[in-house]
Amino acid sequence: MTSLARKPLQALAFALIALATWTAPPAHADLCARGMAQSPINIRHAVTQKLPPLVFSYQSGPPAIANDTHTARVRVSVPNRLRIGDQVYRLEQVHFHSPAGEQIEGEDFAMAAHLLHKGTRGELLALEVLYRLGAPDPALQWLLPLIPAQADGDHRSADWHFDPALVLPATRGYYRYTGSVTAPPCTQGVVWVVMKEVRTVSAEQLAAYQQHFAPQARAVQDMNGRTVVQSP
């Protein structure tokens, strides 16, 4: 009798523990510290594959520019789409980082642009453009004087027009891997598309950007068995 009574109780206890473990979302700190598929990474040993081309349907539109304390963020209200194979993604925003964080074969980059896209089922795709020091960048030249001095929401002007295609490099070769959002909550399952062609930013532009945002980048994360693929 006692053993019969105890077994259901034990089963119930195990079920409750299992349910608690399953329903408790991992704390942000946990995913950021212990997630197995985090970004940025050092891109190396990329495996060449016949990847679908990146087909951009970007167009110029009136932008909303914001200083969100950590970055300058640009949103365009007109629809901008990226098609990769049979997947279609909508561009949500463009923002910048300095330094980039992402590395290629151990090389650090002065800056990165992140073009964040959302798929039809809400899946996240981050397209990254890297910058090394060199000639001034025209898109940054346009943006830098317009960055709001304070984090006070979106700024708009009838005089402003922004075509996100101006942020893209001339060639469309890319790396791809699965990673995460690079700041808390460090959400995983983000498809990272990193353009192979690197743009340039001048020292003056970098200094102007860093007047707003102190240099900060997340350290490169362990691959934990992930593979980077690349277009030929």
Instruction: Just list the catalytic residues.
Output: 70
Least Å from the CB of residue 96 to Zn ion: 8
- State which residue, 75 or 114, has the beta carbon closest to Zn ion: 114
Residue with smallest beta-carbon separation from Zn ion = 114
- Please report the DSSP string for 52-68 in residue order: PPEEEE---B-EEEEE-
Residue 29 beta carbon to Zn ion: minimum distance, rounded to whole angstroms: 19
Binding positions for Zn ion, rule: CB under 5 A: 114
**Rounded CA gap, 85 and 161, in Å?**
29
- In sequence order, the 6+-apart residues with CB closer than 8 A to the CB of 104 are 42, 43, 44, 130, 175, 194
CB nearer Zn ion, residue 190 or residue 228: 190
Q: For residues 96 and 164, give the distance between their C-alpha atoms in angstroms, rounded to a whole number.
A: 13
CB of residue 124 vs Zn ion: minimum separation in angstroms? 11
Please report how close the Cβ of residue 21 comes to Zn ion at its closest, in angstroms. Answer: 31
Residue with tokens 């990165």: 112
Structure tokens at 39: 């970004």
The CA R_g of the chain, rounded to the nearest whole Å, is 21
Query: Quick one: tokens of 232?
Result: 């030929």
Nearer to Zn ion, 4 or 219 (CB): 219
